[in-house]
Amino acid sequence: MAEYGKLYKEHTAILKHREWRGFKDTAYDYYRWLVTWKDMIKMVLKAPVSTVKGLWKYRWMCSYLSTPAFVDRHVAGLRGPHLRMAHLHYNMIVKHATGLIHTSFVADEKINPGNKISKKIVLMDEIVPNEVFSGFPNIIPIPLQTIPIFLTSMVDQQITPPYLEVTESFGVPADVCPLPSAEVGVAIEDDYPKMGCCIVASNMPCDGSIMNSSFLDRRLQLPVHLFNIPLRYKGEDVQEYAVDEIKSLIEFLEKQTGEKFDWDAFFAAMKNYNKQLDYELQKWDVNKTPYPQMTGAAFWLYRIYYFNLSGGVDKRFLKVDEKVNKIMMKAYEKKTPVSKEMRHRTVVWSCPANYYTSFANWLENCWGMNVVMDMETMISYLKIDTEDKEQALKDLAKTYQRSIMRTHTKGGYANVVDELWRIVEEYNADTVIMYDQISCKGMDGLTGIFDDQARERNINFIWVKQDLMDPRTISRRDMREQVNKYMQTVLQEEPVDPSLLDFEDDLAW
Amino acid sequence: MRDLKHLYYLENLLQEANNELVQKAKNEGGIALGYTCYHIPEVLLNCGNCFSVRLRAPRTGSMDIATYYMSNFLCGYSKAILERAIEGGYNFLNAVLASETCSEINRTLEHFELLDLVPNEKFFLTFLDAPFKIEPHTIKHYVKQTRLKILDMLTSVYGVDTSDEALKKAVEEHNEVCRLMTEIGDYRKEDNPRITGYEYHILNLATYCCPKSLILPILRETAEELKTREPDLKKKFRAKIVVVGSEMDDPEFTSLIEDSGALVVADRYCFGALPGRQEIKLVEGEDVLTQICTHYLRTSQCPRFMSHEKVQERRDYVKSLVDEYGADGVMYEQLKFCEYWGYERALASYVMNGDYGVPTAAVDRQYTASASGQLRTRVQAFVESLEIKKIAKEKEAKKNG
């Protein structure tokens, strides 16, 4: 692995051949690569006509053909238990996502006019976690933007710019956060599958997503419910309102779908949710020790995926967690090193770039920076009551208040500034990779404070500028360069793998 | 037209946040309460011996220090306020009442606490949680928040009387300001208005930034003066427009627009009068605070309200202003880096044009009016297009007899 960079073809960073990881690991990795293909082919075979029509109709669908390369990027350099755990996580994501794509195409009225599934679907803003829908086992919740743009942008960095251009041509400024902007682009291009009996919009996570809802509303023309989550969420004074909002959402869903909220189904799902949370917290605990077992991208990608898209409903996630937990605990007991060389225990903070989700793998492989905790993983870790209805709603409300991105960027600076220093201490980190997502107004507004306080703590504080969904503004290579400069000039270190120091991947997926 | 008697005085007054009237009120024992947003009900900040000051940063120059703290990518207003606060320009404040409305100004105001910017032991900063839609439970939440975060804080820290009687008194004074501003503003509906958009902008800003009791005599006198003011015989404008958009507290923008041939007849932007200067009508027997809060929620035109009916209402409201004030078009303006208005102006200008048939221009701008050559060109082009449309319409009308 020492010279992983030499495996890359120029510009595209496509691998010339698969990585040699020793016989067992290479065989396992190859087997998992085949499993990814199997899941993708299975999806096509389940509804070949709809899938092929979808492929021709939607620009973003082509990006999913590069899913195996996405998985390869994210397991680069991994060995032993770490490799196995990461593969199990990514494979579960692929399995679930192919299911979502399949449902979307089958239910798409543009592809299958008059189909019956469409009316069973409730669209929701992608940031609304799935938990509340577990009380409606007969409806199919689909996160509107996840498949067409959010997940695609992680799989293929080239997919977002055309949508951003459409939005900007419409007149939305180029300086807004590219995530909601790209979602608007998909709406303007009419690239969302047409389905659903209603939609749940939300004020999460930020100002941009609040504002793009009027564009989506205009395109979709569906009955819409606005689900609000309090912003100053740490106070008890907002909790009554938060619970009222959930009740109001349930009432809307009951009215629109004719279904009754099923408390038994909800509690059953929350039991799974709580079990998953136990496994998650165990991962965190292990990472606090000198022998972390899961570092890098799989940690947060899997976490946000199951938190938002399963929420205890899909039991397959729980099975994966059980398996991963076994592997992890065994490796921890044996004190297995997570990577070849662990030089810096690193915390990654602020929103990661969708177009470079595997950045953490590069940090580990190139510089020995093991990401032991990150902001995205640190979403709600509160359990949900599974017996008392009122208490369950209160817990659910608090969980939603602590969902992706908004848990840190809303509710006051302490949630993101003080919280970072708490994590750094708890995980005994010596380095912080601080993403400067240049269009994130909530984070931009604290740059000086972060700098001041990092200096006071004498910590390696590395700013990495990125533009979330737009690799044209700051490329993957530019992101790497910022770390390289810090490591070489400030810390005067030599890379673990010099072949990864600089390579071109602007044309990569 | 003859200059308004108090215009020059008010223009000078607005050159400072801590202006002569603010200082006078402070010397008389007043409690100065800063705020930046319509989500903080202004009238609540005028209870007892308190007075509200909507924060501006007039004569802003370099924003280097604020840029260090908040990067290049935040709006000029938020950075100018921080810069001014660091310079000590708001040391006169006794408290800042804020709501987490937009991320940018939220971060700015957090710096008051983070950098301990106001050297006053009793100074406090609170943030309330404002809803995004209007339903019974969201009104209840908003009322609770204003009670906890504004009224209770004022009482506990400064011993301010926030009883229903005190609230009613504040509403009464507020309503007089609103009545006078509405009376003055209504002249803008005339065919050849006797007041310019710039003059109105100055008067209106003064009502936001000065203690109400001290600005009222000036407003009364100005309203009286306007009753007999004769407009110029020859119209000095070529088109009338409604300005809609984000925070605008620099009257030089209105001046620039009017120098370019348009007359601003309606000000539908933050710090404007529409909304902001509408009377609060209290009904006996109902909770006073709830009525006040409901008024602010219902009248707010902030794009942050994302419910379907509020979005629609914003568009309808702009159209109603166009009709009521006899405007030829609408100019949507957005403070650069304002996330809310970046989206709103793009879609609303498209909808106004396409669905409502109202000619619309959309521009972005900096916080201060200096170096706005591009904006001047945009306004001139818009005025020309409005004139061409007018001529075409007249021709069409002639043709059709």
Tell me the mean pLDDT in the region B96-104.
95
Alpha carbons A141 and A156: distance in angstroms, whole number: 25
Alpha carbons A233 and A236: distance in angstroms, whole number: 8
A171 closest CB neighbour out of B130, B145, B350: B350
B346 closest CB neighbour out of A171, A213, A444: A171
Residues of B in contact with A351 (CB under 8 A): none
Q: Do A203 and B339 touch (CB under 8 A)?
A: no
Alpha carbons A208 and A199: distance in angstroms, whole number: 18
| Position B347 pLDDT exceeds 90 | yes
Q: Do B129 and A184 touch (CB under 8 A)?
A: no
In A391-450, the residues whose Cβ lies within 8 Å of chain B are: 409-413, 436, 438-439, 441-442, 444-449
Nearest CA in chain A to B365: A173
Backbone angles phi, psi at A470, to 5 degrees: -120, 95
Amino acid at A506: D
| Position B47 pLDDT exceeds 70 | yes
Residues of B in contact with A447 (CB under 8 A): 68-71
State the smallest CA–CA distance between residue A105 and chain B in angstroms.
28
Nearest CA in chain B to A199: B308
B114 closest CB neighbour out of A411, A413, A439: A413
Residues of A in contact with B106 (CB under 8 A): 442, 445
Q: Is A206 on the interface with B (CB under 8 A)?
A: yes
Interface test with B, best of A170, A179, A228, A393 (most B CBs within 10 A): A228
Q: What pLDDT is attached to residue B371? A: 62
Q: Is A506 on the interface with B (CB under 8 A)?
A: no
Q: Which of A216, A200, A214 is nearest to A127 (CA)?
A: A200
Q: What is the 3-state secondary structure (H, E, C) of A102-163?
A: HHHHHHCCCCCCCCCCHHHEEEECCCCCHHHHHHCCCCEEEECCHHHHHHHHHHCCCCHHHH
Residue B134 lies in a domain: no
Q: What pLDDT is attached to residue A163? A: 97
Amino acid at B104: E
pLDDT digit string, tens, across residues B170-201? 999 999 999 999 999 999 999 999 999 999 99
The verdict on whether omega for the bond into residue A178 sits within 30 degrees of 0, i.e. cis, is no
Alpha carbons A184 and A180: distance in angstroms, whole number: 6
CA distances from A491 to A309, A340, A452, A486, A497 (A): 41, 20, 19, 7, 16
Alpha carbons B357 and B347: distance in angstroms, whole number: 14
Contact A84, A21 (CB under 8 A): no
Nearest CA in chain A to B335: A173
Residue B109 lies in a domain: no
> Which residues face A460 on adjacent strands?
A431
Sheet containing A369-374: give its strands across. A369-374, A344-349, A431-437, A460-466
Residue B148 lies in a domain: no
Structural tokens at position A289: 């020790």
Structural tokens at position A23: 């016989």
Using CB atoms within 10 Å of the CB of residue B191, give its burial: 0 to 12 exposed, 13 to 18 middle, 19+ buried: exposed
State the smallest CA–CA distance between residue A204 and chain B in angstroms.
11
A449 closest CB neighbour out of B103, B114, B130: B114
> What sign does the CA torsion over B322, B325, B327, B333 have?
negative
Q: How confident is the model at residue B1 (pLDDT cuts 50, 70, 90)?
A: confident
> What sign does the CA torsion over A483, A459, A443, B247 have?
negative
Structural tokens at position A489: 């000039």
Tell me the mean pLDDT in the region B52-81.
96
| Position B370 pLDDT exceeds 80 | no
* Domain limits, chain A: 4-500
Structural tokens at position B146: 């204003």
- List Cβ neighbours of B23 (8 Å cut-off, separation of 6 or more): B92
A176 closest CB neighbour out of B137, B304, B342: B342
State the smallest CA–CA distance between residue B2 and chain A in angstroms.
41
Residues of A in contact with B363 (CB under 8 A): none
Q: Is A243 on the interface with B (CB under 8 A)?
A: no
| Position B121 pLDDT exceeds 90 | yes
Residues of B in contact with A173 (CB under 8 A): 334, 336-337, 342, 346, 364
- List Cβ neighbours of A296 (8 Å cut-off, separation of 6 or more): A74, A78, A86, A360, A361, A363, A364, A370, A371
Alpha carbons B297 and B309: distance in angstroms, whole number: 13
Alpha carbons B155 and B303: distance in angstroms, whole number: 32
Q: What is the ipTM of this complex?
A: 0.94
Q: Do B68 and A447 touch (CB under 8 A)?
A: yes
Amino acid at A11: H
Q: What residue numbers bound the domain in which B266 lies? A: 234-399
For residue B385, give the CATH number of its domain: 3.40.50.11900
Residues of A in contact with B145 (CB under 8 A): 237-238
Question: What would you report as the CA-atom Rg of chain A, rounded to the nearest whole angstrom?
Answer: 22
Could you report the average pLDDT of every consecutive run of 10 residues in chain A (509 residues)?
82 90 97 97 96 96 96 95 97 97 97 96 94 96 96 97 97 95 97 97 93 94 96 96 98 97 97 97 97 94 95 96 97 94 96 96 96 96 97 97 94 97 97 95 96 95 97 96 97 96 93
Alpha carbons A364 and A86: distance in angstroms, whole number: 14
Residues of A in contact with B133 (CB under 8 A): 226, 228
Structural tokens at position B258: 């009017």
Tell me the mean pLDDT in the region B298-305.
96
Q: Is A171 on the interface with B (CB under 8 A)?
A: yes
B107 closest CB neighbour out of A217, A439, A446: A446
Q: Is A55 on the interface with B (CB under 8 A)?
A: no
Amino acid at B86: I
Contact A278, A323 (CB under 8 A): no
Query: How many CB pairs below 8 A link A and B?
Result: 158
The verdict on whether omega for the bond into residue A193 sits within 30 degrees of 0, i.e. cis, is no
State the smallest CA–CA distance between residue A463 and chain B in angstroms.
13
Q: What pLDDT is attached to residue B368? A: 86
Domain total in chain B = 1
At B73 the three-state DSSP class reads: coil
At A369 the three-state DSSP class reads: strand
State the DSSP H helix or E strand holding residue A419, giving kind and residue range, or none if neither: helix A417-426
Q: How confident is the model at residue B283 (pLDDT cuts 50, 70, 90)?
A: very high
| Position B291 pLDDT exceeds 80 | yes
Interface test with B, best of A166, A168, A226, A466 (most B CBs within 10 A): A226
State the smallest CA–CA distance between residue A444 and chain B in angstroms.
5
Q: What pLDDT is attached to residue B301? A: 97
Q: Do A203 and B140 touch (CB under 8 A)?
A: no
Q: Do A446 and B70 touch (CB under 8 A)?
A: yes
Structural tokens at position A475: 């490329």
